Amino acid sequence: MWLVVARPPARTVSDLLATGAPGLDEGSAASVLNETAQTLLALHTAGLAHGSLTPDHVVLAPDGTALLIGAALATALGGADTSTASLQDADVAAWAALARTLGTAWAAPGTPAADLFARCSDTAGADGLAAARTTLTSARAALPRTSCSGRP
């Protein structure tokens, strides 16, 4: 399979986690989580799902925006359970895991930001992705003023 793009390749979140890239902090984690949640919610609203969300499927564009790659690849390739509802549920569980992973990696333990990411993960599992994103965006005071994308 080939993918031709007009931009240089970006590093995946998995790459960044493995290298401990400098400058990645609570604001960076919040941006990645917010942008991936927005994308997943848009996919779900359209009756679609990503289907295989992992840190390997989240890249940071040159401007710092978090983008998802490989959307719906699991559906296209077929799998044991590829119903849209089950893939959407898997997206939410994967996003919750991403929130925990980024909270552990990019937030100091015991800080308000680390607690926020854990709460977002729990909220996604209990109340869904929209509620988790609302939890994230309504608790901005727990985060630094800028992020990896340079946006407040």
Q: What is the DSSP string of 58-108?
A: EEE-TTS-EEE-STTHHHHH--S---HHHHHHHHHHHHHHHHHHHHHHHS-
Q: Which domains does the chain have, with CATH numbers?
A: 26-142 (1.10.510)
With CA atoms as reference, report the closest residue to 36 among 65, 74, 64, 2. 65
How far is Cα 106 from Cα 132, in angstroms, rounded to an integer? 18
Encode the chain (152 residues) as per-residue pLDDT tens digits. Answer: 445 556 666 788 998 888 877 768 899 899 999 999 999 999 999 888 888 888 988 988 888 889 888 765 555 555 545 678 888 999 999 999 999 999 999 999 999 999 999 999 999 999 999 999 999 999 988 886 654 444 43
What is the pTM (predicted TM-score) of this model? 0.83
Phi/psi at 59 (5° precision) = -120, 155
* Residue 7 β-bridge partners: none
How far is Cα 23 from Cα 49, in angstroms, rounded to an integer? 31
Residue 140 is classified by DSSP as: G
Residues in the chain: 152
